[in-house]
Amino acid sequence: MLTLLDLKKELKTKASLEKAKILQKFFKTGPGEYGEGDIFLGIMVPDMRRIAIKYKDLKLEDVKKLLCSKIHEERLTAILIMLNKFQDGKDKEKIYNFYFKNIKHINNWDLVDLSADKIVGAYLSDKSKSVLYELARSKSIWEKRISIIATFNFIKNNNFKETLKIAKILLNDEHDLIHKAVGWMLREVGKKDLKTEEKFLKKYYKKMPRVMLRYAIEKFIEKKRKQYLLI
């Protein structure tokens, strides 16, 4: 039977010191940066995906140990195992609750972006969305990012209400990673329903941080994009 120790050993066989150095800079792990203290082994995501599938039956108590790791790739692999378990459909509520009990360890943008819509959004698709508004008003940048990225699941199903409401809550947020996430979700709304996105933009584009606006209008034709940027 495959164990947590086997998984950790297998991950290390895929490690690269050269890639780790690049990732340490890319994910802003320096003093005072959003990823301060995060440790990277330099493992590529496809390798972690393959390992996560191999270890998808790992017990949740061991997944928790991975998720509590200071090593970024161990946390990401834990997220991928959770996704595999959730998508198997055996106990979605258990995985959703596990996600929230350990939410403080889902603490970088790639961990959020891999999981928020596929676990949180998917689980809440036919349930109350109130928890997303609580996350949107959190002091944690990662909980705020989860709140908006989770709505990607709803956007895919042509439900834009939560995205627009949470985008409004986050309009005045100070962090660049929130600006990018909100702009990205508004852009996804526009791919489904451009009129809905533009209705929101016309009301709020002058208040938006420039990064948020640029992300939101990235797919617009150049003439229209310039009109929004000429504030």
The pTM of the full predicted model, rounded to 2 decimals, is 0.96
SS3 call for 213: helix
Which domains does the chain show, CATH number per domain?
1-107 (no CATH), 119-231 (1.25.40)
Which residues on neighbouring strands pair with residue 71, listed in sequence order? Answer: 39
Can you give the pLDDT of all 231 residues of the chain as single tens digits? 899 999 999 999 999 999 999 999 999 999 999 999 999 999 999 999 999 999 999 999 999 999 999 999 999 999 999 999 999 988 999 999 999 999 999 999 999 999 999 999 999 999 999 999 999 999 999 999 999 999 999 999 999 999 999 999 999 999 999 999 999 999 999 999 999 999 999 999 999 999 999 999 999 999 999 999 986
Give first-to-last CA distance, the chain, whole Å.
Answer: 61
Question: Which pLDDT value is given to residue 138?
Answer: 98
Distance, CA of 212 to CA of 227 (rounded, Å): 15
Q: What is the pLDDT of residue 231?
A: 62
The separation between CA 170 and the C-alpha centre of its own chain, rounded to angstroms, equals 15
Number of neighbouring beta carbons within 10 Å of residue 31: 6
Looking at residue 89, its pLDDT comes to 85
pLDDT value for 90: 80
For CA atoms 154, 158, 162, 165, the dihedral sign is positive
Q: Which residue is it, tokens 């947020």?
A: 173
Q: Please give the pLDDT value at position 1.
A: 85
